[in-house]
Amino acid sequence: MENKELNFNGTTLNGFMVLFLNLIVVPALIALDIIFWGDNKGLSIPIAAALFIVFIVLMPGYFSQEPNEARAMVFFGKYKGTCKETGFFWVNPFMDKKKLSLRARNLDIEPIKVNDKIGNPVMIGLVLVWKLKDTYRAMFEIDAQTMADKGNGQIGVTVAGRMKAFEEFVAVQSDAALRQVLVNMHTMRVNMEAMNLH
């Protein structure tokens, strides 16, 4: 299957530099505008309003990222790539930054009773260690929101909700794979018996 994951190549600025600009420079410009242009209200108010809008618009662009985390960057519904760098950054504030965990997770499937092809009951279990590899497929090809909903009326838009939905997806897939392994083992045994390869 083709890997559709891309590295995010959009503009990513140092978050501390933009934070300094946003919290010190823009308010200072607004204060200077009010002080020096105070007598000329016709020019002062639009400049102060424009600077205040710049201050507000810059705020949602910040994000910090720890090791083994990723952000799927989506700009008005279009996937722009995945950012896996660690640190404190600022990107276009209109970019949707969907957070994912790339950390290893454990899945312990309790032993289940499965009948083989001739009806013999067999107990089989599984312990699986897994982690996300392809963030594009995880975000856009698995219906994680529906899986996270599970009748409680809440959509899994948080990182914990998404990862819980992925755990549910992996559990269902692992259970199906475990049953298929048992069927394949029985088929191999029958074939070996047919060829007298005990």
User: Would you list the domain boundaries of the chain?
Assistant: 13-101, 105-194
Does the predicted model carry a pTM greater than 0.95?
no
Output the pLDDT for position 189.
59
Give the model's confidence band at 43: pLDDT under 50 very low, under 70 low, under 90 confident, else very high: low
Output the pLDDT for position 153.
45
Distance CA(62)–CA(90), nearest Å, equals: 4
Lowest mean pLDDT among 26-30, 66-70, 192-196: 192-196
pLDDT digits (tens, 9 = 90+) for 85-131: 999 999 999 999 999 999 998 888 888 787 766 777 878 888 888 88
**Average pLDDT, rounded, for the chain:** 80
| CA angle (8, 93, 80) in 5-degree steps | 25
Output the pLDDT for position 90.
94
pLDDT digits (tens, 9 = 90+) for 144-194: 655 555 545 444 467 787 888 888 888 888 888 877 777 666 565 555 555
Lowest mean pLDDT among 28-32, 75-79, 123-127: 28-32
More confident residue, 37 or 80: 80
